Amino acid sequence: MSLDGIVVRAISYELKNKILNGKIDKVYQPEKDEVLLNIRNYGSNMKLLMSANNNNPRVHLVNSTKPNPQTPPMFCMLLRKHLQGGKIIGVKQISMERILIIEVENLDELGNIATKQLIIEIMGRHSNIIFVDKKSKTVIDAIKRIGNDISSVRQVLPGFNYELPPSQDKVNPLDATKNTFKEKLDSSNGGTPIYKFLYKTFLGLSPLIGREICNKADIDNSTVIDELDSESTNNLYNSFSSIMLDINSNKYTPNIVIDENYNKLTAFSAVPITQYSNLKNIYFDSISETLEFFYTVRDKKQRLNQKSTELKKMINLKLDRNQKKLGKQKQELHQAEKREKYKIYGDLLTANIYRITDKMECIEVENFYSSDMEKIKIKLDPRLSPSQNAQKYYKKYNKLKNAYEEVSKQIEKTTEEIEYLENVLVSIENCSDVDELEEIKEELINEGYLKKKKKNKSKKIIASKPRHFISTDGFDIYVGKNNKQNDYLTLKFADKEDIWLHTKDIPGSHVIIKSKGKEIPEQTIKEAALIAAFYSKGNMSSNVPVDYTERKNVRKPNGAKPGMVIYDNNSTIYVTPKSEEINTLKKVEE
């Protein structure tokens, strides 16, 4: 999702009303491709962010800020020299292009008034922030210098004349009449989808707006130009004209399209977006608030995805090693299970010791342990005496017996390790922000899975609180976000008569229903079971088994890892987790 010309026009309108005639107090460059201006106007302090980031280019007012480097970059120092103390005398958009020009008036080195321009070009990986002398139209510098080695079409370098990017040869939609609209429609390729025709023909429109125009005209996105009749054509123009009329009048409706769980950001716009029937809209008072919310949430999720991917990679590596170890241990256990035959061999040799002569390599004896008394052959070591041969088999038996006991303990330990790591993976998947992920990392450090980084001045991790729902019957339901919280909920927070739930033999969160001395209805148990299944590895499965019992029946074995418990006297309920059902429950934000 990128800013289109309509959003840039809305930004331009907002900035004219808020920062025009404002004074620039400070200039910062928090990132290599971002500039932040502190502006004072109408007795208020404002922050204007300009970003030429390849993935998130934008310009808008912000409330939050990033830390700045100790040594300001050269571009920042240059802007400070020319802009600090200056007055903003102009904000304008070039036609409906994604180009915004901010003009600043200040005194030059000789004390004369000079006007400089900050030109923000929002064009994906070609985005740039260019500092220009207005009078001479000379580039003073740019946050991204573009030489001949990068572009043979247009260079952006100090001393060069500033030229606008090559024209897209599109029609300004704000100037388009009905005749112009129909002429363009008639002269276009008949097989072109309507929404594509719109954003390819008219400047500043995006595929999102093209689809929205079609949606308002009740035309399917897959419809091509040749399929339009006169009525559909009129409806299409009326829809187009209606949106352009609002934009021409600077009547904006800043909004974001997002899913019910606030997990997936789909779009943002300065005009109402109605094409997503299964999603919801959040409306804002200004386009800057819209963009700050959108990019803050998206950046947060991108950081979470990046950090969680790294952590999951490490956990999966350890999980893979433990699963391979468990396979080998089970093979060793299988071999150790054959130990009884060596004891039988020792017994049979002892019983037939009088029949064994010197240097015998094999003896055939009756197996009196078998009801059939079948004969079996037992290999002998000719170098050993008869009693020594018997002792050899007894020693092998004892060795395998000890091995069986030891390997059984190792298997139990490895299995517990695997269960713990799988639970950690589920906790990582359910993290909603980086802070929750940091809690899991802290747990992994304490358990010895991660090395503690050298001491630094990083902020102390503030522990999050368990998820909190209220059932339709009014009972409080709590869900652990990680193993530390699982232990806290089950072993400290819950009372003996509270109900504890967990997916049966499936990694997941501990869930507690607070009874408060009342009998818990079946509906609340079902809702809590849905929550337990939703926050488990089985969240995409059907008929997920969830065990539940009173808290007094749950115990933590000595030395068990975080989140590991045993329980009895439980019942089992089968549920199919669905986010829609979870969303109907009241969620308490704490």
- Residues 341-360 have a mean pLDDT of 85
Q: Quick check: 557 pLDDT over 80?
A: yes
Please give the angle made by the CA atoms of 445, 448 and 453, to the nearest 5 degrees. 45
Q: Quick check: 351 pLDDT over 60?
A: yes
Please give the angle made by the CA atoms of 97, 98 and 100, to the nearest 5 degrees. 100
Please give the angle made by the CA atoms of 360, 363 and 368, to the nearest 5 degrees. 150
CA distance 378 to 355: 13
Which of 279, 248, 284 has its CA nearest to residue 269?
284
Contact between 23 and 85 under an 8 Å Cβ cutoff? The reply is yes
Residue 313: per-residue pLDDT: 95
CA distance 506 to 549: 16
Instruction: Report, in angstroms and rounded to the nearest whole number, the Rg of the chain calculated over CA atoms.
Output: 36
Contact between 197 and 236 under an 8 Å Cβ cutoff? The reply is no
Instruction: Find the helix packing angle between 194-201 and 207-216, rounded to 10°.
Output: 130
Q: Quick check: 371 pLDDT over 90?
A: no
Q: Which residues contact 324 (CB under 8 A, 6 or more apart)?
A: none
CA distance 466 to 481: 6
Token pair listed for 317: 């590596």
In the chain, what are the domains?
Answer: 5-142 (2.30.310.10), 178-287 (1.10.8.50), 333-420 (no CATH), 467-587 (no CATH)
Residue 540: per-residue pLDDT: 92
- Judged on CB neighbours under 10 Å (0-12, 13-18, 19+), 331 is exposed
Which of 505, 513, 514 has its CA nearest to residue 538?
505
CA distance 478 to 467: 6
Token pair listed for 65: 């800020």
Q: Quick check: 66 pLDDT over 90?
A: no
Contact between 405 and 289 under an 8 Å Cβ cutoff? The reply is no
Report residue 462's pLDDT band, with 50, 70 and 90 as the boundaries: confident
Report residue 231's pLDDT band, with 50, 70 and 90 as the boundaries: very high
- Residue 63's CB: how many other CB atoms inside 10 A? 10
Q: Most distant CA pair in the chain: distance in Å? A: 123
Q: Which residues contact 444 (CB under 8 A, 6 or more apart)?
A: 311, 424, 450
Please give the angle made by the CA atoms of 413, 417 and 421, to the nearest 5 degrees. 175
What residue has token string 């689809």? 211
Alpha helices by DSSP H, 337-385? 339-351
Residue 457: per-residue pLDDT: 52
The sign of the CA dihedral 231, 234, 240, 244 is negative
CA distance 473 to 470: 8
Beta bridge partners of 365: 376
CA distance 257 to 272: 10
CA distance 56 to 405: 60
Residue 455: per-residue pLDDT: 59
What does DSSP say about strands 511-513 and 499-503: parallel, antiparallel, or unpaired?
antiparallel
The helix, strand and coil proportions of the chain, stated in percent and rounded to the nearest 5, come to 40, 20, 40
142 versus 459: which is more confidently predicted? 142
pLDDT mean across residues, the chain: 93
What residue has token string 């606030």? 262
- Condensed to tens digits (0 to 9), the pLDDT of residues 250-285 reads 999 999 999 877 778 899 999 999 999 889 999 999
Residue 456: per-residue pLDDT: 53
- Condensed to tens digits (0 to 9), the pLDDT of residues 565-584 reads 999 999 999 999 998 889 88
Residue 508: per-residue pLDDT: 96
Report residue 312's pLDDT band, with 50, 70 and 90 as the boundaries: very high
- Mapping DSSP onto H, E and C, the string for 69-120 reads CCCCCHHHHHHHHHHCCCEEEEEEECCCCCEEEEEEEEECCCCCEEEEEEEE
Residue 165: per-residue pLDDT: 94
Report residue 50's pLDDT band, with 50, 70 and 90 as the boundaries: very high
Q: Quick check: 458 pLDDT over 70?
A: no
Please give the angle made by the CA atoms of 62, 66 and 70, to the nearest 5 degrees. 135
Token pair listed for 322: 């433990």
For the chain, give the percent of residues with pLDDT over 70: 98
Reported pTM: 0.75
Phi-psi region of 516 (alpha: psi -120 to 50; beta: other; left: phi over 0): left
In eight-state DSSP terms, residue 455 is P
